[in-house]
Each structure stands twice: as structure tokens, then as C-alpha cells.
Structure 1
Amino acid sequence: MRDDGTEGFWVYIVANRRNGAVYTGHTDNLGRRVHEHAHGLLPGFTRDYGCKTLVWAEWHETRESAFRRERAIKEWRRSWKLRLIEECNPTWRDMLADYVT
């Protein structure tokens, strides 16, 4: 849920460092999901590679739209993903506070 109360879904990318490992996912609760990644609560790639920092996110009104976007990004070349991050977050700072308060 966004701060304005709108229900919907997020597509997001978390990373372990600038130009390091990146993971793309989607969720209906960005704050909870990033917390799970940041504290290693989810087994798999993000815990194994230490992807804890939210470096990019995009809002979608429907689960289907978010799922399609996530799948598309996961098939992209790595360089395209890095460019997507760099366009909105050139310093690779943690952007969670920009989306969730």
C-alpha cells in the first residue's frame, strides 16, 4: 500500500553494492519485503549474495502488470538493469524512505 492508501504492487531491485549483485522482484508491501531482504529472512539469492539495499522501485496498479514487468526485467541484459538503476539512482543509495514512510 502506498502512503496515500492506494493498494497496488511494486516491482523493485535490491543490490549488495554499486555494480554488484542485483535481484528483481515484485510485492504488494515494499517496506516489509525490503525488511525481509535486509535481514536475510528469505532463503535464496538475496540472502546468499547480501542484496539488502533497495536501489530502484516502480509502482503498478495490478499484480498482473507488476508480474509482467518483473519478468521482463529479469530477462534483460545485466547492462540494461544497471542503466535503469543509474538513471534514477546514480549513487545507488538506499531508496526505501523515498517510497515508504
Structure 2
Amino acid sequence: MNNNYYVYILTNKYKTVFYTGVTNDLYRRTLEHKMKVSDGFSEKYNADCLVYYELFFNITDAIKREERLKRWKRKWKMDLIENFNPQWKDLFGEIGDACSEAGMTV
């Protein structure tokens, strides 16, 4: 059973919006955003570039962190992302590679 939970932030190519979410499968969920499988904020604003994520082993902790991040000011989120991912590159390829190396199906 997978007890990994991720809080993640997506942005669009212009870095004008942030989408914060929580999932137990970061690769699958990011792919869903990229494929625009559901209507909503990330589809409307083309937020499909994974720029930040955190790993949790407890869903309650992950949800609490997501809720806190959603209340943060834009500047705080930008600082968080820049410390984690200074080039603001899309991390989707890296998490896909990590899943493959771990023998997970992607």
C-alpha cells in the first residue's frame, strides 16, 4: 500500500497563476493536469507545469500543509518555489524518471 502523499504546486508557462494540490500519486496527478482530464482551475488557466512538491507519509499532515500553502501570499509561494527549483523548470520529467528507476509503472 502506498503511504506517500504529495503537496504540489503547478503554474502556467507565464508563472501568473499557482495551483496547489495534494495527491497520493504525483506522477499520475500531474499527467492528469497536463492532459486536462477534468474541468477546473488548472485547466482554465493552463496550470500544468510542476514546479514544487513535498513528500508526506501522513495524509492529515499533507492536507494541513496544502491548506496552509493555499493561504500564503504569492511572494511567499514564489520564494518557496525558487528555493526548491531555482530555474522554475517543469519537474514532471524528473518524477517520471524516478518512478521508472524505482520499478514503478508509469
Task: Give the TM-score normalised by structure 2.
Answer: 0.84
Q: Give the one of 2, 12, 15 matched to 1:19.
A: 15
Q: Which runs of 5+ in 2 are unaligned?
A: 100-106
Following the alignment from structure 2 to structure 1, what is the Cα–Cα distance between the partners of residues 58 and 38? 24
- Secondary structure of the residue aligned to 1:11 is strand
- Secondary structure of the residue aligned to 1:23 is strand
Q: Quick one: percent identity of the two aligned structures? A: 36
Which AA in structure 2 matches 1:22? Answer: F
- Secondary structure of the residue aligned to 1:57 is strand
Q: Give the one of 52, 64, 78 matched to 2:74.
A: 78
Give runs of ≥4 in structure 1 deviating > 4 Å: none
**Structure 1 position 18, deviation (Å):** 4.9
The equivalent of 1:59 in structure 2 is 55
Tell me how many residue pairs correspond in the alignment.
97
1:93 aligns with 2:93: no
What is the Cα-based RMSD across aligned positions, in Å? Answer: 1.5
Task: Give the TM-score normalised by structure 1.
Answer: 0.88
The equivalent of 1:7 in structure 2 is 3
- Computing the radius of gyration over CA atoms, which structure comes out larger, 1 or 2? 2
